[in-house]
Amino acid sequence: MVELRPRGNTPQGPAPAADSGVLVIGLGRFGSAIAQTLDSLGRDVLGVEKDADLIQQWSGRLPLVEADATNPDALEQLGAKDFPVAVVGVGTSIEASVLITGNLVDLGTPLIWAKAISAEHGRILQRIGAHHVVYPEWDAGTRVAHLVSGRMLDFIELEDGFTIVKMRPPRETHGYTIAESQIGKRYGVTVIGVKPPGKPFQYADPDTRIDAEDILILSGDTQLLERFASRP
C-alpha cells in the first residue's frame, strides 16, 4: 500500500504546467532551500518528504506531499511524470538517492538535478541518468576557501577554470583608470565592472577610474584572479 498524503497548502487538481513545475524530493537543508526559493520566485513547486518531523516543519509553508519517493508507485501517483524538472535533495542515504533518481529516470523526467555527497555517489547518479549532479558541501567549502584567502568578497567558478569574482581593489590601482593600471596586461584578468559606494554598478571601460572604496567585478582564470586578489 502506497502512503501518499497531501500536507499544508499543497495545491489540488492537475499537475503544474509543463513549463514551470519543479518537484523537490527531500526537504532537508538543501532541498528546502531550493523549494523555498522557487516558491518565492513564483514557480510551481511541490515538495516530497517522508520524514514526519520535516513534514511538520514545512506544513503550511510549502506545497508538499508526504510520500516515500523510493517507491515508484508513490511517484507515479503524485504525478511526478508531469513535472519537467525534478530535484533529488536526499543526500544522507546514498541508496535512497540512487533509487529515487532511478525512479525519475524510469518515469522519463526531462531534467533531473541530484545532490551527491561524494565523487563516487555522483558518478553513480550520472550513470543511471541524472542530468546534473551537484556537490553543495564541496562547492561551499571551495568557495569559502577562496574568500578567506584574500580580498575577495564573492567567488563563482563556472567551468574549465573560468571564474568571476567580486573584490576590493588592490592599493596599486587606487586613483588610476583601468587603462593606466594595465590590469589586463599585467595580471591577465578582465575588469567587467565597478560598483562605487552608494552608486549603481557600471560596466568598465579603459577610462573607468578605480577608487579605494570601489568594488570590482572581474573575470578570468582562477589562478590569475587569486594572484591579483593577493596584491596588497
Can you give the pLDDT at residue 17? Answer: 41
Can you give the pLDDT at residue 173? Answer: 95
What's the CA gap between 173 and 176, in Å, rounded?
6
- For 226, phi then psi, to 5°, come to -60, -40
% pLDDT > 70, the chain: 84
- Going across the sheet that includes 202-203, the strands are 152-157, 162-167, 215-221, 190-195, 202-203
Average pLDDT over residues 94-112: 95
Predicted confidence (pLDDT) per residue in 30-64, tens digit: 899 899 988 888 889 999 999 888 888 888 888 88
Can you give the pLDDT at residue 45? Answer: 92
DSSP 82: G
* Number of Cβ within a 10 Å radius of residue 202: 12
Can you give the pLDDT at residue 145? Answer: 64
Can you give the pLDDT at residue 140? Answer: 64
Does 182 score more than 50 pLDDT? yes
Q: Which superfamily does 4-134 belong to? A: NAD(P)-binding Rossmann-like Domain (3.40.50.720)
Predicted confidence (pLDDT) per residue in 143-155, tens digit: 666 666 566 788 7
Can you give the pLDDT at residue 122? Answer: 92
* Cβ atoms 80, 86 nearer than 8 A: yes
Can you give the pLDDT at residue 231? Answer: 85
Instruction: Label the pairing between strands 111-115 and 85-88.
Output: parallel
Can you give the pLDDT at residue 147? Answer: 63
**Claim: this prediction has a pTM higher than 0.75:** no
Least confident of 68-72, 171-175, 220-224: 220-224
Does 7 score more than 70 pLDDT? no
Can you give the pLDDT at residue 144? Answer: 66
Domain positions in the chain are 4-134, 140-229
CA-based nearest residue to 83, from 41, 61, 112: 112
What's the CA gap between 42 and 40, in Å, rounded?
5
What's the CA gap between 134 and 139, in Å, rounded?
8
Band the pLDDT of 195: cuts 50, 70, 90: very high
Q: What separation in angstroms does the CA of 95 have from each of 47, 75, 127? A: 20, 17, 14
Specify the higher pLDDT residue, 128 or 232. Answer: 128
Does 158 score more than 90 pLDDT? no
Question: What is the pLDDT of the chain when averaged over all its residues?
Answer: 85
Indicate the class that CATH gives domain 140-229.
alpha beta
